[in-house]
Amino acid sequence: MKINTNDPADLSAQIAKAIRDAIIAGQLIIDERLPSEQELAEQFQVSRPTVREALKRLAAQSLIRTQRGAFGGAFVNRIQYQDAYSQHVTTSTLLLSMNDVSFDVACEARFAMERACAPMACARRTADHLATMRAEIHRQSQPGLSDESWCASDVTFHRAFVDAAGNPVMSYQLAGAVEAMQPLMNMITFTARSREKIIDLHGRIADAVETQSPDTCDQLLDELATYTAELAANVLTARANRDAER
């Protein structure tokens, strides 16, 4: 595990990369203890603060965890679904919101991936998943629900749908697509009329999942995707007109 002396990057970044590569390559196995900060400092010929900065970089990626005390230290961490999940959502959300990703592109990706869940969700859905979906549909039909809460409920509904597929890897991968859309959805104005239509579609999707009709489910998701894109297009048109008036 050595650092490249020609690398222009910060020492802490180089050290972090060296350790990260060792973990990915399997040279450091799960729960293995890294040398103490003092020892690492000597190995890499740097000071302890520099080593610490490197370790914090790795901790931020959930690659290691640290423990204080006599037999403490830095340990190679077993990445949990939850850690990976939240990291993925954060990165995806920022990626979409910071790069002016068009609503259409994000929407297309999201619904294409969700439709991939349809057959599995229909085949494996449990009562729990159905109950969550129905509960969110009920929440959505409550009058006076704020736009923000509406979008949050929408995300919960779709997460339940994805989880119904019973494949944790799928749930993890889809998380980025589904949750990262929320800020983009927040830009849409959901009138009572549009909410009604979406609620109706949600209800029919839940029905299709319950009756295990993947084709119907697929078709309804397509309809929902089209309608959502339409709503977004209207917002954009209205905004363009308003800007043109000025």
> Can you give the binding site for its own copies, defined by CB under 8 A?
12-13, 16, 20, 23-24, 26, 30, 49, 52-54, 56-63, 78-81, 84, 87-88, 90-99, 101, 105-106, 108-110, 112-113, 115-117, 119-120, 167-170, 172-174, 176-177
Please, which of residues 41-60 interact with DNA by CB under 7 A? 45-50, 52-53, 55
CB of 225 to its own copies, least distance (A): 12
Phi–psi pair at 65, nearest 5 degrees: -130, 155
Q: What is residue 64's three-state secondary structure?
A: strand
CA distance 11 to 45: 10
10 is a contact residue toward DNA (CB under 7 A):
yes
Q: Identify what 70 binds: its own copies, DNA, none; CB under 5 to 8 Å per kind.
A: DNA
Distance separating the N- and C-terminal Cα atoms of the chain: 61
167 is a contact residue toward DNA (CB under 7 A):
no
CA distance 41 to 192: 62
In the complex with DNA, the residue whose CB is nearer, 6 or 45, is 45
In the complex with DNA, the residue whose CB is nearer, 50 or 171, is 50
Contact 184, 96 (CB under 8 A): yes
5 is a contact residue toward DNA (CB under 7 A):
no
Q: How far is CA 229 from the centre of its chain?
A: 21
CA distance 206 to 212: 10
CA distance 106 to 103: 5
Q: Identify what 23 binds: its own copies, DNA, none; CB under 5 to 8 Å per kind.
A: its own copies
CB of 196 to its own copies, least distance (A): 28
Q: How is 80-105 classified by DSSP, letter by letter? A: -HHHHHHHHHHHHHHHHHHTT--HHH
66 is a contact residue toward DNA (CB under 7 A):
yes
Q: Is the alpha carbon torsion for 5, 6, 11, 17 positive or negative?
A: negative
CB of 85 to its own copies, least distance (A): 9
Q: Identify what 96 binds: DNA, its own copies, none; CB under 5 to 8 Å per kind.
A: its own copies
Residues that bind DNA (CB under 7 A): 10-12, 34, 36-38, 45-50, 52-53, 55, 66-74
